[in-house]
Amino acid sequence: MAILDDISEQLQKGKKKKVVEFCQQALDEGIPAGEILNNGLLAGMDIVGAKFKANEIFVPQVLVAARAMNAGAELLKPHLQAGEAINAGKICMGTVKGDLHDIGKNLVIMMFEGKGFEVIDLGVDVAPETFIQTAIDENCDIIACSALLTTTMPIMADVVKGAEEAGIRDKVKIMIGGAPVTQDFCDQIGADAFTQDATSAAEKALELVGA
């Protein structure tokens, strides 16, 4: 669809205003929000990722594209949540210490909320102790960690260890994810679940809390 290509193209150029405008236009045309997200915004971000990897573009361009992505996703947010009013449980989520990538985290949070979870967004660069203390103070059912750098993945193991040491491991489930994370890594560090994308993350979370 032409409008979705336009969204992808404007996102790659980092044109935040245009991205938001075209997302609104796509919604007005009756295109489902999930389709706009996947075939417009995320399709654009995939191309940005490939160009970044190939050294065709650099951090500043990726950053403006990321801002446009987040602005578009914010607009779609209420339309992605199909008005499910159940209270499925409480989750604290953040991107682990040393890691500033937050696009995936923000998408996963949107999907969690869409499934009726209350989510505490801890932001980026989150220390293991912060995940643990929040889970204790807020009585969370799930701790969710995101990492996009291979160098920050080990922090997820520290979160699992920290939960054991704090004596809350039997009360809280730990979910992990992010582009470099795998099911093998999840098994290796003893986390409860890994999924590859935001939609399956929310479904898995429901499963974990037995909803």
The distance between the two most distant Cα atoms of the chain, rounded to a whole number of Å, is: 54
- Encode 70-90 in three state secondary structure: HHHHHHHHHHHCCCCCCCCEE
Binding residues for ligand B12, rule CB under 6 A, total 36
- CA angle, corner 153, sides to 147 and 157, nearest 5? 120
What does the chain come to in residues? 211
Beta bridge partners, 117, equal 89
At closest approach, how far in Å is the CB of 124 from ligand B12? Answer: 7
The first and second tokens of residue 65, run together, are 């594209």
Q: Is 197 in the site for ligand B12 (CB under 6 A)?
A: yes
- Return d(Cα 83, Cα 101) in angstroms, integer: 28
- CA 210 to chain centroid: 22
- Return d(Cα 204, Cα 206) in angstroms, integer: 5
Q: Is 149 in the site for ligand B12 (CB under 6 A)?
A: yes
Residue listed under structure tokens 């470099």: 180
Q: Which stretch binds ligand B12 (CB under 6 A): 7-15, 22-30, 114-122, 175-183?
A: 175-183
Q: Is 208 in the site for ligand B12 (CB under 6 A)?
A: no
The first and second tokens of residue 166, run together, are 């704090």
- Return d(Cα 43, Cα 9) in angstroms, integer: 9
* Contact string 108-147 vs ligand B12 (x = CB under 6 A): x-----------------------------------xxx-
Q: Is-contact 94 146, C-beta < 8 A?
A: yes
Residues 61-90 binding ligand B12 (CB under 6 A) are 62-63, 66
Member of 139, 150, 182, 188 binding ligand B12 (CB under 6 A): 150
Q: Which stretch binds ligand B12 (CB under 6 A): 26-34, 128-136, 148-156, 164-172?
A: 148-156
* Contact string 21-60 vs ligand B12 (x = CB under 6 A): ------------------------x--xx--xx-----x-
Member of 32, 78, 180, 190 binding ligand B12 (CB under 6 A): 180
Using CB under 6 A as the criterion, which residues of the chain lie in contact with ligand B12 when the complex forms?
A: 45, 48-49, 52-53, 59, 62-63, 66, 98-105, 107-108, 144-146, 148-151, 175-180, 195, 197-198, 201
